[in-house]
Each structure stands twice: as structure tokens, then as C-alpha cells.
Amino acid sequence: MLKARLATCGFSSRQRKNGVPLREEFTKGIIRQNPVISLTPLGLCPTLAVTTSLKNGIAMGVATTAVLVSSNLIISIFKRLIPKEIRIPCYIVVIASFVTIVELTMQATLPPALNQQLGIFIPLIVVNCIILGRAEAFASKNTVAASFLDGLGAGLGFVLALALVSGIRELLGNGTLWGLAISGRYEPAATMIMAPGAFLVLGLLLGGYNLVRGRGAVSAAHAERIRPASRKPKGGEGVR
């Protein structure tokens, strides 16, 4: 029974899933279905917290991608062995294990200053909604190859979003990019490095996304409601 189950899990030789070429599973995560810059952003906490410089942002993104890809892979391989009722705790344990691996690797290989700046947000990759969401929505239902590529694509999209936010923040808040001073005469705005700058940059980026995608149009009913008050006279002249 176990052998039969193992034989059927994940290792399919199909190259297409529902007619979608595998290449597409990879590219969709980068721009079109970017996990952060979309209508329903996920993974906001690291996006705002560690993007104080381009280096930090990209390091965080790469770490998250590593966890995403590995957990997608494992969950997709073992998807038929995990009972439906306890699937979420199982996914969480898998993800947490990979986060521990990534965390210990980073502590061993990267400079301590970087690790200190990333702080608790590396362990917090465990509860990053992107990873659990991809696992639940995709890896548990698709082939190993597709899940791998989906994880890679989404991870790259995440890196892109983080790079964008951190690039802007570092440029405006520190006058540098990747540690290299850009212009001598620019007086950096320190708030960009701090909390308000994070929210501001992300808000404007999301607004820009809506603009480009042409979203945000309100229904006529709502537009009617928010126009300034113009009350109709109550069926007669005033009585005074």
C-alpha cells in the first residue's frame, strides 16, 4: 500500500498541467501574479521591515525563495502521504525546518552585521503567508516540477518587490545604493529608512500598480454616495 502510494506521488512525467506550459508556472509569479505587488499583497511584514537597504532586501528575498522552493518541493513530493485533516500543521513543520536550515546557514556564512539587521525576520519566514499560501494552494495539488517552478517564480517575484522597495528606500533615505554613494549633493531623508518611509513607499507602489493595471474604478453607486451632500427638500417648504 505504501509502495503504491509512493509510486503515484509527484513524479509525473507530464510536462503540462491543464495545458499550461511549465514555463508559465515560473513566469507568472514574477510580474503578473507577484505575491507582494498585487491586489491582495502577502508577505508584508518582511517587505516593510528589512528593506532598509538594497543588500538587506535582496538577502531576505533570496532566503525566502530558498525556503519557498524547498518546501514546495517537499510538500509536492509527499502530498499524497499527508492526511487532509492535519495538512496545515504538517506544512508548517516542513516550512519551519527549512527556515531553521536557512537561518543556520546564513548565520554561518553571511557577515554578522547583515544577520543582525535582518534580526527576527529570518525566523519569521516561517509565518510568511506567501509560503504557506503557495503550499496550500499549489504544491499540494500539482506535480513536483510545476511546484518547483512555481516556488521559484514566486520567490523571484518577491525578490523583485523587495529590491524595488529597498532600492527606493535606500536611495532616498541614505543617498546610497548597495552601499555606494550616488550623489554627493543629495541630503537624505532619514524617515525613508524608518517606519513611515516603508509604509509610504509601499502604498505608493501599490497605487502605481493599480494605475498601471487600470484598477480602482469605483462603482457608480459608490461614487454617488461619496459626492458632497445635496439633500433634497422634504416635500414642501420649510415650516418656521
Contacts with other proteins in 108-167 (CB under 8 A)? 119-120, 123-124, 126-129, 132
* One of 103, 135, 142, 154 touching other proteins (CB under 8 A): 103
Q: Which long-range contacts (CB under 8 A, 24 or more apart) does 119-127 make?
A: 119/50, 121/45, 121/46, 121/49, 121/50, 121/60, 122/60, 122/63, 123/99, 124/45, 124/46, 125/46, 125/63, 125/64, 125/67, 125/95, 125/99, 126/92, 126/95, 126/96, 126/99
Comparing CB distances to other proteins, the nearer of 31 and 223 is: 223
Q: Which stretch binds other proteins (CB under 8 A): 27-35, 143-151, 178-186, 194-202?
A: 194-202
Q: Which three cell numbers stand for residue 164?
A: 524595488
Q: Which stretch binds other proteins (CB under 8 A): 1-9, 20-28, 91-99, 156-164?
A: 91-99
- CB within 8 A of 10, min separation 6: which ones? 76, 77, 78, 79, 80, 143, 144
Q: Which three cell numbers stand for residue 76?
A: 509536492
Q: Which stretch binds other proteins (CB under 8 A): 17-25, 138-146, 163-171, 200-208?
A: 200-208
Q: Which stretch binds other proteins (CB under 8 A): 4-12, 74-82, 145-153, 232-240?
A: 232-240
Determine how many CB atoms are found less than 10 A away from the CB of residue 18.
Answer: 6
Q: Which stretch binds other proteins (CB under 8 A): 12-20, 24-32, 101-109, 156-164?
A: 101-109
Nearest Cα residue to 141 out of 87, 105, 199: 87
Min CB(205)–other proteins separation in Å = 8
- CB within 8 A of 235, min separation 6: which ones? none
* One of 33, 89, 182, 186 touching other proteins (CB under 8 A): 89
Query: Does residue 240 touch other proteins according to CB under 8 A?
Result: yes
Residue pointed to by grid coordinates 433634497: 232
State the DSSP H helix or E strand holding residue 16, giving kind and residue range, or none if neither: strand 16-17
Q: Which three cell numbers stand for residue 70?
A: 524547498
Comparing CB distances to other proteins, the nearer of 52 and 143 is: 52
* One of 10, 29, 35, 41 touching other proteins (CB under 8 A): 41
Cα distances (angstroms) measured from residue 197 to each of 8, 192, 200: 50, 4, 5
* One of 2, 4, 7, 229 touching other proteins (CB under 8 A): 229
Q: Which spans of this chain sit near other proteins (rule: CB under 8 A)?
A: 39, 41-42, 44-45, 48-49, 88-89, 92-93, 96-97, 99-100, 103-104, 107, 119-120, 123-124, 126-129, 132, 191, 194-200, 202-204, 206-208, 210-211, 215-218, 221-222, 224-240
